[in-house]
Amino acid sequence: MDQRMAKQYFSTELLNWYMQNKRDLPWRRHRNPYYIWVSEIMLQQTRVETVKPYFERFITRFPTLTDLAEAPEEDVLKLWEGLGYYSRARNLQAAAKQVLELHGGEVPNEKDAVFNLKGVGPYTAGAILSIAFNQPEPAVDGNVMRVLSRYFLIEDDIMKGSTRVKMETLAAELIPQGRAGDFNQALMELGALVCTPKSPHCLTCPVMEMCKGRIEGREDTLPVKKKAKPPRPEQRIAALVTGTSINEGKILVRQRPQTGLLARMWELPHVLASEPGGLASQVPDEPAMDMMKGHLLEEGYAINPKEFWKIAEHTFSHIHWNLQVYRCEQADHMVSPAMVAERIETYKTEGYVYKWIGPNDMETMAFPNVFLKLLKEHFAL
């Protein structure tokens, strides 16, 4: 069978399968462009089952794009807490403000306008235009590239930009007239449920008969994907500082700077134990506690380190934090006026803001998942 017939077979059989097997997902129950947009941003690098409750809570709190655009950023980050990749939430809100200012609060259906929204790349733009407006635009993500690589036996490295362009062109050719939204979702569904990264379920695949990858026995070796550089390991020392006197029952936390990694999110105080790129090995307890004590003293907070608590980890796309967490107490003595002045200068240069908090404060403050878990465990929440 020639390429044209292979494409027609693929599109027809895939759509038929999808209409009978598609999952009932909350963002599929309507064609609201705003809801579809939110779901697609949340689904980036995140499992469907994880996203479901987040999507429901987010839409309940911000039912319209205007509600999102006008909300305090702290509220948006709190609703995103635990999903990770927090720049997604900030970009989503920034783009909502763009839509409010430039498009009267209505998600645009013009390709250039959608592409110009902050945080919207080719995949997300294609998903919005096809699913919400049924426009014949491809939406090519990792799932889709895996499916196409196997079915058409494409051996190009999917990490290359040229391969993505090739896949987008191919995906656009496969879209049946008038069925762009259903077809793109069908492709995603097949990659998520059947044509999985490992041990694909070929016997239940609706297009198995003409899948070149399966016929050639290449289903487990495709797609070709150059391994990404592993995240750089960093050894860090963190302090869980319990308060005394008027701060009894509280924990010392700090807010990160206005820009950069995890901008404006709250965390336990921590310090890098070695130079970036240096050996990331565990530091003995005494030097580690002295390091943390000295760091917080420079920030204007006197503490008494008590004991090692636990190891915690957090992985970003480019960095892996290995956190040695120590239980500490607020010291009884006050810091000197000069130290307070130095602390104020630290605020100016590093942008950290410190605060004593109790368990109730966590209802409104957004923490990265690693610190959220530590605080919940401490407060027994």
- Going along 97-248, which residue ranges are E strands? 232-242
Gyration radius of the chain over CA positions: 25
**Neighbouring residues of 127: CB distance < 8 A, sequence distance ≥ 6:** 36, 40, 139, 184
Instruction: Say if CB 96 and CB 62 are below 8 A apart.
Output: no
The predicted pLDDT at position 340 comes to 47
Q: What is the pTM of this model?
A: 0.85
Strand partners, 122: none
Asked whether 178 and 134 are in contact (CB, 8 A), the reply is yes
Query: Can you give the pLDDT at residue 348?
Result: 41
Per-residue pLDDT, 260: 87
Structure-token pair, residue 99: 């839509």
pLDDT digits (tens, 9 = 90+) for 41-83: 999 989 999 999 999 999 999 999 999 999 999 999 999 999 9
pLDDT in tens, 217-241: 999 999 999 888 888 899 999 999 9
Q: Of these residues, 40, 137, 168, 219, which one is catalytic?
A: 40
Tokens of 60: 């309940």
The answer to whether the beta carbons of residues 99 and 107 sit under 8 Å apart is yes
Q: What's the angle, vertex CA 109, arms to CA 103 and CA 111, rounded to 5?
A: 105
Q: What is the pLDDT of residue 279?
A: 55
- CA 149, CA 191: separation in Å to the nearest integer? 11
Average pLDDT over residues 153-168: 94
- Following DSSP, what letter does each residue of 175-206 receive, concatenated? PPTT-HHHHHHHHHHHHHHTS-SSS--GGG-T
Note the pLDDT of residue 31: 87
Q: Rounded to whole angstroms, what are the CA distances from 287 to 147, 290, 298, 305?
A: 52, 5, 16, 11
Q: Which two tokens stand for residue 370?
A: 């690693």
pLDDT attached to residue 304: 94
Could you confirm whether 40 is annotated as catalytic?
yes
**How much is the pLDDT for 345?**
47
